[in-house]
Chains A and B, each alone.
Chain A
Amino acid sequence: MSGFSPAFLSSTSNSFVEFARAVAPEALPTTAGHDLGHQVPEGTTIICFRTAAGILMAGDRRATIGSMIASHSMEKVRPADDFSVIGIAGTAGLALDLIRLYQLELEHYEKIEGARLSLAGKANRLASMLRGNLSLAMQGLSVVPLFAGVDEATPAGQIFSFDVTGGKYEEHRFHSIGSGSGYARGALKKLWQPGLEFDAAISVAVEALFDASDDDSATGGPDFVRQIAPTIFTVDLENGVVEVPSADVMSVAAEVVDRRTRKAQS
């Protein structure tokens, strides 16, 4: 072994993606492929909205291949770093790879520069990574993320949605993505209010995801048999990213189901 190659010792780049593309392109997700859109796992509803303290993002756990359920327990919402979360809809393999690469990109920047990227900077970085993915999206392997977080400049938080071409759009109240997003957004339009407190926010999130799973076959509802609850993360400046414990989500889900059962039978 012979020490660091010059690329390691240069001090011009603070981007992991650029660095990896130069020294180890084989480690990065490939940007060429055939039309595989019909045989890779997809699916999802991801929702995100503002709360009294900051941001809440939640996602269902199902992945599908066509009409088959490929996974009951996929986690499609993850912390991007200590103060932001990312949720992904689309081709599962690429989506999870993109999350992993994006998490590393933020951590790498933080370590090299000794400071975190601003929230807007993080969103722009994600947009440019999506743009690099465009050729795959044209072949049916699209990935669409939802990104949200807080920083000192925007303590109330910001929500960003994206399209496959790397377009970035700020959402001001709530947003949803994925195959069940229409139903979830309909629910949020009625249920969401400014300044939702923690318990109310969890309940709204579960209701919206329940509506999505009710009408969209690619979105999974709360699974009482396997005790698999939707993933829910909250973000605020004081506590950073916090995952709501699965048991708490399950008990809220039980209440929601109970309420709806009573309504259906009355």
Chain B
Amino acid sequence: MKAHEKYEVFIGLEIHIHLKTRSKMFCSCKAHYGDEPNTNVCPVCLGYPGTLPLVNEKAMELGYLVARSLGCKTAERSSFARKNYFYPDMPKNYQISQFEEPVGTDGAVEADFGGGASRKIRIHDVHLEEDAGKMIHAGDVTLLDYNRAGFPLLEIVTEPDLKSGEETEAFLRDFQRLVRYLGVSDGNMDEGSMKCDANISINLPGKGLGTKVELKNMNSPRFVRLALNHEIIRQAEVLDAGGSLVQETRLWNENRDITEIMRRKEAADDYRYFPEPDIPPFFPDEAFLEKVENGMVELPLEKKRRLHSEYGLSREQAEFIHDEAETAHFFEETVKSGASPQQAASWLSSDIRKLLNRENLSLVESPLTAGRFSSLLKLINDGRISGKIAKKVLEKIFKDNLDPETIVENEGWSQISDPVELTSLVEKVMKENPGVVSAVRAGDVRQKGFLMGQVMRYSDGKAAPELTGKILDEKLEEKE
């Protein structure tokens, strides 16, 4: 029997995201990556004596926004606390965090596990805090960069409601989409703007939670899945062999695809939380709550379902279109200006996607606007260009940043749909290929394609395909 069949699995997450604010959580230093070490620092974020924290209200707003989107009860009174522990990269040796009165508590969010399976995942709380600096060990010295110290962080703690690595990966990808839709964070695990630690325990069904193991150092949703699945099997093997599990923290080793012990937890860490005396409690007023409300958008899962139900997109298409908010927006704009949803979706998920990948552009950055895309589709549907020409027009839009009509006109790519012109082309091709013509007339209809191809070649692909086919058929039926 497989591990996840014999045992019940409990997975909870602690997700940290860097909030996209201009300045740090408690001072006016730039919250910016990639600058020279120790340039975005001041006496406040370096923890000089006598300095005091000043709450970044934008971060507060984004915190409430995420809490609201995760179905949390948002705090009528929110306050900060000091979390005490010593670490060389932490300037004050306490982290200003939230403990008793976080911005959000008791949430629940529906997670879509694919194939129609979905479940509510409960959110324990959402709280604001500050990041620490960065320690770099170089030979026998240790270097410290405090640019990141004081970055606004939002931590989301789930209840242990996830059941497998696959579910957790899907949940994390949903969550990434959520924070990107809201515009509160980049949500990139490899770049460090999002971090995820997991706790996992297994037990015989009905026995409740098992011994909790904390997993760290997983730098992508995929690694989270691999680490959890590895851990489920490892824990099951220990139990199957009659052993017992130890409460500990383990690190994912992505080179060896295993988890390795980092430290045992004999007793729970004692952070000696107490209320932050430097920051008075925060009571959101109406103006603040209105700002939060204005930040709300249609969430990814709702969007995906609506794409499916309203436009009749397949699950795969909806999955692709909703993945990025800008794609979904682009899609809906295109449809609004008259394009067919199916057609728009299939162009978006094939040719346009390929071009974007090749040019390494996002839709917003690209010269293709919803208006241009819509007129391109209209040119096809009006029979003015063929699908093949449309692909060339698309390339040109990316290259020259011009409207499709202009390109078609400049390049003379309008489809030939004049019957006289097409008839003369067809006659020319038949005359040049008497053998093929005879063969078709003798019943080898497969060779008709060759004749069509030749017409296309002479017309630079502009011959209206349907009409050309009709004329060719007529001509082939005529006896000499």
A and B: bona fide binding partners: no
Residue numbers of A with Cβ under 8 A of B are none
